[in-house]
Amino acid sequence: MDWWQRMRLNRSRLVVAAVTIGSVSILALAPSVSASTPQASFSLAKTCDGLGTCTVVTSNAAALPPGTTETYLGPQFGDPVLSSRVVINTPYSGGGTATGHCTWPLRTASGTCTFAAGTGSLSEFHANLTVTASADFSLFFWDGTYRL
């Protein structure tokens, strides 16, 4: 092995060592989200004004009490699917917001919402929800699981 080959081999070993040390350091500093709180069952009913704002009327989650509002920042139409970003604003524990995304296939009248980011009292809010509506579309329901 000549001098250049040894230098390349040593440089490669240094890069591998640095990447390994950096990866281990990142893993050691990362918070454990799954250990914070377990997932819980979630049910909510809300009314909507037709202009992109809904108000919670019943909820089994203390963090989203009646009076909590949701604002839809879409909608975007697709195939035919109503799709929108949504922001929840809650008065719970001093207030907070959660940002997510909802889709509503118009043919099935059943959709989904997911949330994975937030601020304040909802900073750790994560949810996977099914969305349905009453027969006359006067009430909308979110059912699924959440973690806070």
pLDDT per residue as tens digits for the range 51-75 = 889 999 999 999 999 999 999 998 7
Q: CB pairs under 8 A, 24+ apart, for 37-41?
A: 37/124, 37/147, 37/148, 38/147, 39/145, 39/146, 39/147, 40/145, 40/146, 40/147, 41/145
Q: Are residues 22 and 42 in the same domain?
A: no
Model pTM score? 0.72
Q: Are residues 77 and 117 in the same domain?
A: yes
Q: Are residues 43 and 24 in the same domain?
A: no
Q: Are residues 52 and 94 in the same domain?
A: yes
Q: Which domain holds residue 7?
A: 1-30
Residue 122 has pLDDT above 70, yes or no: yes
Q: Are residues 22 and 38 in the same domain?
A: no
Q: Are residues 13 and 57 in the same domain?
A: no
Reported as a pLDDT band with limits 50, 70 and 90, residue 17 is very low
Residue 41 has pLDDT above 90, yes or no: yes
Mean pLDDT, the chain, whole residue set: 80
